[in-house]
A and B are shown apart, each in its own frame.
Chain A
């Protein structure tokens, strides 16, 4: 009977421990309270006492024993009680150190007595984060853009070279605001979670050495980037320069922007200065967020601007591709175009002629001609071709991109007025500068293929071993190659004989073939977006550029965007034999 009782007690003890190890309340607070676990430990303790206490009785009557045996028996019982205590401690340690160790290490979010959100987190993890030897970032010329310095306590600070490229990196603030930009998109590689040799990682963790990140090598040319930044100056807007054949980003600037160095926490200073520093960074963060000019916003990829006349490139492609127009198709334009009692003025005519070919319409950016094309292309045609050009889709890129859009209200394009307005680039159109540059690239290639843009050329381990190399690839086939070739030629005509050509857009003396289109989108109150997209091919090189100066008072593509692009293209072409 006693043996049976002991077996039952032993089974109960084991069952209670197993249950306690496995059971997890759904509620995070209850889970952290361990109430169920402590109760199951209590059951375990009592059951273990049952095993040890009952089984040890060697006598039938207390009076029948000599004092020595009696003492031995009592000591055994006392020692079994202490033993149970130490078994419970061992189980508790097993649970805290192994079974739920990972759950304990997770940050615990809660509210304090005043109702403000606080997080209870292991400061040792902060140390791990701060001692991570984060990967460095280099430009195409091999200069370090972002690096690290390590303090004597092995804490690591993100450092930045005085390079125009740092605006593309995003901020690095793992303990305060998280990361953005490249620092966020490539965090796995930069922190070393991805791409590192597993044996090397294991060795580092065994030797308690901080994790080592991998280095990024960007496609950005520091000289062109500097030039683009200088050309943009402090005008709100963006400039994107691509290698039109591969999609590699050669320069990409936006303004207003922020300096990631301002948000970097420096753990290499003395502990006593940490709090002040954190406060200062937080102040700066709040100021950046409150700034109405939105400096944290990555304009070249996420900024959306009304495209104006540069959109005529898409409409032209659609018209030619569907066969609804040929380059020499004639259109009426006597200075305005009336559709459904809505009058569209055309201030762009170079003379008083009233008949214009398709090619002339594009060269002189005739709104009345393209309003007619928009109506002819129709809602379905516009939707079809904008879709083929990648509107409404996120551009696959190394940074987050905002999809360009054709209509913001559903069924907007069903009205003919909307089709006409969209036809010359107004309406509800919105485009990102990167997208505009990609359209130029697709036409400049002459085959209509839009390359997949990229910013990161390769990723290497700190010892220089290649982890990943970006192979140029295609994103979209926009229009048929024959159509693209025709658009290519019309763009050349625009850049040589059209408004662009008359304003120096052909870059005489550069030895390059150039096609381009300006745009001036009206935003009301005499504020305009000044656009220019172009491509320039020389030898086996093809450059594609998009410049936008946004909300410029009386801004004009010809005056504000074109000269800036010309300077950048000249500099890029100067390097080509």
Chain B
């Protein structure tokens, strides 16, 4: 192999993520027993993770040597945090989430490698854009009709060994569709038609806008939760803005969404609870706002350097391993840990934009921008919710929260990004 095809930057950057799960070993030695439900024999997870990183690196070296060298290290670092936290937060209540998470991480890396090997031409995705749209919507609708009901909303398929969440898949399907659609209709940008002097978007813009709004509202209605609707509509508005360059459309979309949110607030007690827990959680700290108040206590306990992994009590927070995993990190790793994680996310998102700007064609550009805004918005919404910056909405923290669907889909996204950059760098 020629020297210039070696991905030396990536190897160097991978050292830290590969060593991160060693913290798991240190927990066994340093943390008093009983505080962590974690055993020396579980060290195999560390080595599995190590092997997966090498495998992914080799896959990139052989299939896409020129592709971006930062995506894999960043994604692996975040995943390593997820692995550590699932080991840390494993209790009698959660069951053996650490070993399950290892299985999901393994499958996710296989998906990543599979995309690197199998998806040699990303333009294939564009060809089947309507298939993706119908597939994503169909799956979500099926879940809404036949899925398992949790918190009054049908969002999951129970596949026996795990609960599959089609909403996660819908995110990617919609981003692919929107990127393809906007790229096709891009030239129509210059031809707004005017009604009563106001520049209205041309029909190809107006139509998807209305459709997206309808899909978001449908989600809002079925899930009785603003989170996914915020995410979908936000991603759509960003992509629309990048394609059209018109802030006016974005503002109009925001106003329409705001109106719908207000209606949802009036109608759904669930949404009202969430808003109350945001504006005034303390008087309800024993009741409806128990979770957020416990999370705030956790952050406050963390301070600058944290209590130390295994020395806090993050399990006081209900379902800490998924939505509230960031609070657990804040308690045990402190401000240093939380700001460090945010820096990792910011780097990842900006790398996506970087790939978008270097992309070979319009579809790739829109796809990368869509992926960037998807990751960015989701991270912002869940961290903002957990830190009481905005009302909380149930959502996973990309790459870190415990759970299979989210991890698999996020690794698929990372794979697509690497493929885009690989194709763009070929001359």
Contacts and interface: CB of A to CB of B under 8 A. Distances in A.
B282 A124 contact: no
A383 to B, nearest CB: 54
Given A82-B376, A89-B383, A96 B299 contact: yes
A78 B371 CA distance: 13
A41 B283 contact: no
Contacts of B241: 74, 77-78
B293 A120 contact: yes
A108 B290 CA distance: 13
Contacts of B22: none
Interface stretch (B46-54, B158-166, B259-267, B302-310): B302-310
Contacts of B365: 71
A101 interface: yes
A154 interface: yes
A381 to B, nearest CB: 61
Given A34-B388, A79-B353, A122 B301 contact: yes
The contact size tier of chain A is 35 or more
Contacts of B283: 29, 110-112, 120
Contacts of A79: 349-350, 353, 372
A208 B308 contact: yes
B12 to A, nearest CB: 26
Interface string A131-175: 000000000000000000000111000000000000000000000
Interface string B278-293: 0111110111000001
Interface string B338-363: 11001001100110010011000000
Contacts of A98: 303-304, 335
Interface in B353-392: 353, 356-357, 365, 369, 372-373, 376-377, 380, 383-384, 387-389
Contacts of B313: 123-124, 127
B242 interface: yes
Given A78-B238, A110-B282, A124-B313, A97 B304 contact: yes
A120 B282 CA distance: 7
Nearest to A88: B389
B318 to A, nearest CB: 12
Contacts of A92: 384, 387-389
A97 B380 contact: no
A202 B44 CA distance: 36
Contacts of A93: 299, 330, 335, 338-339, 342, 387
B334 interface: yes
A33 to B, nearest CB: 5
B384 A108 contact: no
B242 A33 contact: no
A32 interface: yes
Contacts of A104: 296-297, 299-300
A82 B302 CA distance: 26
Contact of A41 (B279, B297, B389): B389
A83 interface: yes
Chain B contact residues, majority secondary structure: helix
A19 interface: no
A62 B199 CA distance: 16
A118 B286 contact: yes
A72 interface: yes
A473 interface: no
Given A86-B380, A112-B286, A105 B301 contact: yes
B249 to A, nearest CB: 12
Interface string A37-74: 01001000000000000000000001000000011101
Contacts of B369: 75, 78
Contacts of B377: 82
A75 B282 contact: no
A110 B289 CA distance: 14
A78 B356 CA distance: 12
Nearest to B350: A79
Nearest to B369: A75
Contacts of B286: 112, 118, 120
A90 interface: yes
B245 interface: yes
A89 B304 contact: no
A96 B387 contact: yes
A97 B334 contact: yes
Nearest to B35: A153
B32 interface: yes
Given A32-B282, A90-B339, A120-B286, A62 B245 contact: yes
Nearest to B302: A97
Contacts of B353: 75, 78-79
A97 B380 CA distance: 18
Contact of B32 (A94, A102, A154): A154
Contacts of A94: 335
B34 interface: yes
B411 to A, nearest CB: 21
Contacts of A124: 297-298, 301, 312-313, 316
A312 B377 CA distance: 87
B345 A97 contact: no
B323 to A, nearest CB: 16
B311 interface: yes
A347 interface: no
A269 B356 CA distance: 59
A465 interface: no
B35 to A, nearest CB: 8
A72 B279 CA distance: 38
A75 B335 contact: no
Nearest to B245: A74
Nearest to A30: B280
A231 to B, nearest CB: 49
B384 A89 contact: yes
A472 interface: no
A38 B346 CA distance: 22
A108 B300 CA distance: 14
Contacts of A96: 296, 299-300, 387-388
B307 A97 contact: no
A89 B389 contact: yes
Contacts of A78: 238, 241-242, 353, 369, 373
A29 B349 CA distance: 38
Contacts of B335: 93-94, 97-98
A90 B342 contact: yes
A487 B51 CA distance: 94
A105 B357 contact: no
Nearest to A94: B335
A75 B387 contact: no
Contacts of B383: 89
A85 B376 contact: yes
Contact of B300 (A41, A101, A118): A101
A96 B373 CA distance: 26
Q: List the 7 shortest-distance A-B pairs measured between CB atoms, nearest first.
A: A120-B285, A101-B300, A104-B300, A122-B297, A32-B282, A208-B311, A82-B376
Given A29-B283, A35-B279, 5 more contacts: A78-B238, A89-B384, A92-B384, A98-B303, A104-B296
Interface of A: 29, 32-35, 38, 41, 62, 70-72, 74-75, 77-79, 82-83, 85-86, 88-90, 92-94, 96-98, 100-102, 104-105, 108, 110-112, 118, 120, 122-124, 127, 152-154, 208
17 contacts: A29-B282, A33-B282, A78-B238, A78-B353, A86-B346, A88-B389, A96-B300, A97-B300, A97-B304, A98-B335, A104-B299, A108-B282, A110-B285, A120-B293, A122-B297, A123-B316, A127-B313
